[in-house]
Amino acid sequence: MKETPRTVRIAVGLWLAIAVFVLFTTAGLWFQRGQVQELTKWSSGQVTSFLLTLTVIAVLFAAAYAWLTRTFLRRKNWARIALSTVAVVHMIWILFLGVSAANLVTLLLICAAIVFTWQSAAAQWVAEVREQ
């Protein structure tokens, strides 16, 4: 069995970085809850509800990225498709939330991960399993 191509290793690193970054960004919002309340003029309960919703969604995205990345490493082509689909949904979610530095970084990481996931070396690496 051939060694994992560099593009696949980079893609895997980017997908896992996205998962971790999303969790850390969401955790950071909990520490800034006073600023969130001040900016939005929401009650404490509304801010808590908003942050809980963001946390649940962030955990779901992170879990999906982690599981699908692991599956991609097992050379399952459908995992590449699923990763890209989850990423597009995630990008739409980010655009729905609004502009911030953290969201911009996440969008850039997602774009880079998709590019590396669909490089020809990654496609050939996944296809080798089907040929055996």
All structural domains of the chain with their residue ranges:
6-131
Residue 128 pLDDT level (bands cut at 50, 70, 90): confident
Rounded-to-integer distance, Cα 26 and Cα 30, Å? 7
- Give the C-alpha distances (Å, rounded to integers) separating 7 from 12, 39, 117: 9, 41, 7
* 132 has a pLDDT exceeding 60: no
pTM tops 0.85, yes or no: yes
- Give the C-alpha distances (Å, rounded to integers) separating 56 from 3, 33, 118: 36, 16, 29
Listed in sequence order, the DSSP H helices in the chain are 6-31, 33-40, 44-73, 77-97, 101-117, 120-131
Nearest by Cα to 62 from 9, 29, 106, 101: 106
Rounded-to-integer distance, Cα 14 and Cα 84, Å? 13
* 1 has a pLDDT exceeding 60: no
* 82 has a pLDDT exceeding 80: yes
